[in-house]
Structure 1
Amino acid sequence: MALIIDISIRVIAVIVVPQNRKPQTAMAWLLAIFILPPVGIVLFLLFGSTRLPRNRRDKQEEINTYILETTEGMDDVVRDPPFPPWLDPIVELNRTLGSMPLVGGNTADLFTEYSKSLAAMTAELREATRFIHVEFYIVSYDASTTPFFEALEAAVTRGVKVRVLLDHVASFRSPGYRRTIRQLKRIGVEWHLMLPVQPFRGPYLRPDLRNHRKLLVVDGRVAFTGSQNLIDRTYNKPGNLRRGLKWKDFMVRYEGPIVAGINALFVTDWYSETDELLLREAPGVPRPRAGQTMDAQVVPSGPGFDLENNLRLFNVLLYSAQEKVIVTSPYFVPDDSMLYAITNAAYRGLDVQLFVSEIGDQPLVFHAQRSYYEALLRAGVRIWLFKAPIILHAKHVTIDDQVAVIGSSNMDMRSFTLNLEISVMMQGAEIVRQMREVEESYREECRELTLEEWLDRPLRSKVLDDTARLTAAVQ
């Protein structure tokens, strides 16, 4: 009987698991089920789907209609040269998948220093007169973020409507979670947990589907987004402090019509968590500084969408590139389609470079990432390792001298399928020129990895890297 049950489980798994899944994801789940059938089956039933509950996906569709009906700034896009001719189909792709249009008349200020971006966001809070929307994967009240919280409290005192969203699991795992919640309650902001895992208080939501977005919108006139969480750059974890780890992030301050698009994502997530559909609160769109305007498009992605919006964007950009591709990602674990796209760019003779960290904070992901280095190096991709003890946490891509994508999305399968993410695609020679300066500043803090060095690494490292790769599709 035991043998019959065991064989039945394996046969059923072979039939059910591959349905509507990528081969590598299906193989990872089948491997888990075949090695430990009882455990593998339970994990698959809990975490096998990459989709949010139906009611949340319905809300996303409703918001998409709202976005389509309330867009401004499309008339400000100028498609005269040097607007790349290959970009229009990509804009249409993003519009089809995520509803957001390309809008012109925007400006962007770049922040590569952790303390400076925190200070800039805090300064905007002090100028708020109508509303403040705060949404971060991790929110923590600590010594570094105290001025930010004080500015929120002052805004509440003068009558500004302050709303805060924080991811439940990510924030709960960070030191000082209860202190943070007490502070939010004390200062009187309206706050909610994103994708809460509280099975005894309401419907159970899976702990592996997370809201990884980071954004701030003030009065509808200015917005910030990027890779930085609202927490000290050490993440206040004893292990990080012991190793001397510090995060290096990248944030962008936007003005112009793109602010409404970023705010629409907050409206979406607020609606998902509260059932309250916020009215359009922003006044008229402010005009940006003269001579520094650019086109921009918000690209939302995650399990609330039927397709992998960010993966499709990155892949089509890689195939559209004519001269240069530079990718910065703390977690680079591509699926087969992206691995082919980036290596094909190198085989086509393009200048392809990848910035990653020399060390990692998540061992399984770090070793899975390393398993791809040989294929990348053999293709001609230049790999730059940001020197320890800094964790390069910035997430951006530049294509030729014309397009940049900045946001919260890593280049890994978790960000493609399991996390809600925000990316902003920008078109303009000036913004890419500024990004080139950022990339050069990274290069000064990096060392280049060579194929000879990589092939000479110890056998134990090779085995660990290749074993971790087996789990990449379900991490």
Structure 2
Amino acid sequence: MDGRAASAGGVFIGPCGLGYCGAEGQPNTGSVQLDLSVVGAILGVSWIVAEYLVKIIAIGVVPENRRPSSSSAWLLLILFVPIVGIPLFLMLGSPYINHRRARIQADADELLHEGADELPDVPPSLRAPREFVSIAQLGRRLTALPMVTGNSHGVISDYEASIERMAELVDEAREYVHVEIYIMAWDSTTDVFFRALERAAARGVKVKVLFDHIGSRKYPGFHRLGRRLTKVGIQWHLMLPFIPWRAKLRRIDLRNHRKLLVVDGKKAMMGSQNMIDSSYLQKKNVAIGRAWHDIMVELSGPIVAAVEAVFATDWYSESGEALGIRTYDGEFHEADVGGATSAMQLVPSGPGFTTEPNLKVFTSLMYLAQTRLAIVSPYFVPDESLLAAVITAARRGVDVELYVSEKADQFMVDYAQSSYYRSLLEAGVRIFLYPKPQVLHTKCFVVDDEYAVMGSSNMDMRSFGLNYEISLLTTGGDLVDDITEVVADYQRASRELSLEEWEERPLIRRYLESVMRLTSALQ
């Protein structure tokens, strides 16, 4: 091959291979190195240009429809660690993934408007300040649900007793049972409830069950649960399923956090409790005696139609089956507020809504406080508006109390939550720590012992922007007193945290608090 070029598969090879010939026919390796360095320089410049281009685009895209704290956190991650921040934002930060849910919610709102169009914003018999009525009007404009009357049959704070009561209600069913609970597991504690569902299906009652895919899958028996429900004749669907091989791709950080039960459209239960043993079936929890503490409320009357409407919307979202939305009946006009009958307004929220109804109703009610504001939340990681409402109330002279677990069950939340303690304590907020290892999982707050909110929504940014939640606003009846008494029980069981004690925490904890506070804003 001396002095000639050979062709191999279309690649021409000279006498010195792929290099150039130097003196006496030797390969000129310096030229090859020069060419590679030029290619490397071009790639390096291209990478830098692409990186800056992505950063410039991010500055314009990330803040769209996102609160400032969340925008700042995402931009910091993208600008300083783009190799991590960009993929995370594409998976978790896109605001465009929920368009289908928003359309479904808009359709449901239209049906709700039609069903309640003739009803006033609040029950005619309610005697409440104009400021409170305006909050009920706000809730209606954000969710299409008016404030109606409803009967409370008691708040249940005993974990197993609430499961047993739900089973009893299912045993009373004659037409249908609708269940929607974030975490479900068929274990020795919940067996009484699932057996009741089985009996209901056997006698011809239509039973429909929804539970969250990501929320439930990490607990024992998840993969058998669906098969067991199907075997006994129960219709069920996963909420927000993430199953790539079936083309069910959702934002993996979204959760349907609601907990509700509807029986025959006449009785309902809702609150903070999941359908799982109070240890959450974790051996470490059993070993240290850790248990979850929640509340559920049993309801009847017109408010049940609102609870049913929320289930119907979520069932349609996951199954494509339209159940119809039941309209309110004449009980609305006949019932007088007082005693067992309260004025009640359901406040559903989640990515299907674009207005964060729970956050807006919560903060508005907190600004109404004159004497007392008592907040119970396992995860207190507020956004700027909620934090301002709480601190402003304390600065106005309102007795503000915050009840949280001494040690949260989640590492990141534990540190993110406690990063707010100093500013709260300095403002005069009293912080009560529910003793570890117990987990205070109740979500409620009371204003002036006259108004109360309870349900599934935490006081954190996830619950305001990423989770589907359901909350109940109430006044004018025994339910407020019942919730107030539960808060009093928590105070008796807790110890108060002082600013002096908190200032003595170690530097490493302060550092972790700051880091977790920043990451909590990524949504």
TM-score, scaled relative to structure 1: 0.95
8 Å contact from structure 1 (residues 194, 211) kept in 2: yes
SS at match of 2:253: coil
Distance in 2, matches of 1:170 and 1:303, equals: 17
- After superposition, the C-alpha distances for 1:262-288 in whole angstroms (9 at most, x for unaligned) are 010000000111111103579968798
Give the Å deviation of 1:58: 1.1
Spell out the pairing of 1:72-471 with structure 2 (5 A cutoff): 74=119, 77-79=123-125, 81=127, 83-280=128-325, 291-471=339-519
- Aligned AA (2:410): Q
Give the aligned residue type for 2:123.
V
Residue 71 of structure 1: aligned partner: 116
Task: Tell me how far apart the structure 2 counterparts of residues 16 and 281 of structure 1 sit (CA, whole Å).
Answer: 41
Structure 2 CA distance for aligned equivalents of residues 217 and 393 of structure 1: 22
Inter-partner Cα distance in structure 1 for 2:281 and 2:161:
19
Range with bigger deviation, 317-326 or 173-182: 173-182
Aligned structure 1 segments of 4 or more residues deviating by more than 4 angstroms: 72-76, 280-291
Moved more, 233-242 or 95-104: 233-242
- Take 1:101 and 1:269, find their aligned partners in 2: how far apart are those partners? 19
Choose which of 103, 115, 135 in structure 2 pairs with 1:58: 103
Aligned partners of 2:158, 2:97: CA distance in 1, in Å? 35
**In the TM superposition, what is the alpha-carbon distance from 1:85 to its structure 2 partner?**
2.5
**What are the ranges of 5 or more consecutive residues in structure 2 without an aligned counterpart?**
1-44
User: Under a length normalisation based on structure 2, what TM-score does the superposition of the two structures give?
Assistant: 0.87
The residue identity in structure 1 corresponding to 2:180 is: E
Structure 1 residue 91: deviation in Å? Answer: 0.7
Does the Cα contact within 8 Å between 1:50 and 1:418 map onto a contact in 2? Answer: no
Q: Deviations over 1:273-332 (max 9, x none)?
A: 111110357996879899421100001100001111111011111111111111100000
Deviation at 1:178, TM superposition (A): 1.3
Aligned to 2:48: 3
CA distance in 2, matches of 1:19, 1:248: 38
Report the CA distance shift for 1:299/1:283 in structure 2 as closer, same or farther (over 3 A): closer
**In structure 1, what residue type is equivalent to 2:372?**
K
Aligned length: 474
* Alignment-mate amino acid for residue 407 of structure 1: G
Give, as a single letter, the amino acid of the residue that structure 2 aligns with 1:129: R
> 2: CA distance between counterparts of 1:269 and 1:24?
30
Assess, with a 3 A threshold, how the Cα gap between structure 1 residues 416 and 291 changes in structure 2: closer, same or farther. closer
Residue identity matched to 1:374: R
User: What is the Cα deviation at residue 104 of structure 1?
Assistant: 1.8
Offset at 1:430?
2.8
Give the residue type in structure 2 aligned to 1:193.
L
Task: Determine if contact 1:209/1:419 at 8 Å carries over to the other structure.
Answer: yes
Q: Return 285-294 or 166-175, whichever deviates more.
A: 285-294
Cα shift at 1:74: 4.6
Q: CA deviation at 1:156?
A: 0.5
Q: Which structure is larger by alpha-carbon Rg, 1 or 2?
A: 2
Q: Calculate percent identity across the aligned residue pairs.
A: 46
Deviations 1:143-176 (A, max 9, x none): 0111111100100111000000011111112222
**Given that residues 134 and 165 in structure 1 are in contact (C-alpha distance below 8 angstroms), is that contact kept between their aligned partners in structure 2?**
yes
Does 135-144 or 465-474 show the bigger shift?
465-474
Which blocks of at least 5 consecutive residues in structure 1 are unaligned?
none
The aligned amino acid for 2:437 is P
Do the aligned partners of 1:95 and 1:101 also contact (CA within 8 Å) in 2? yes
Q: CA deviation at 1:99?
A: 0.5
Aligned to 2:358, the other structure's residue is in SS state helix
Report if the CA contact (8 A) 2:126-2:343 is conserved. no
Pick closer, same or farther for the CA change 1:303–1:338 going to 2, 3 Å.
Answer: same
Distance in 2 between residues matched to 1:3 and 1:368, nearest whole Å: 34
Contact 2:115 2:328 in 1 (8 A): no
CA distance in 2, matches of 1:161, 1:241: 36
Preserved CA contact (<8 Å) 1:308 1:417: yes
Query: Do the aligned partners of 1:258 and 1:298 also contact (CA within 8 Å) in 2?
Result: yes
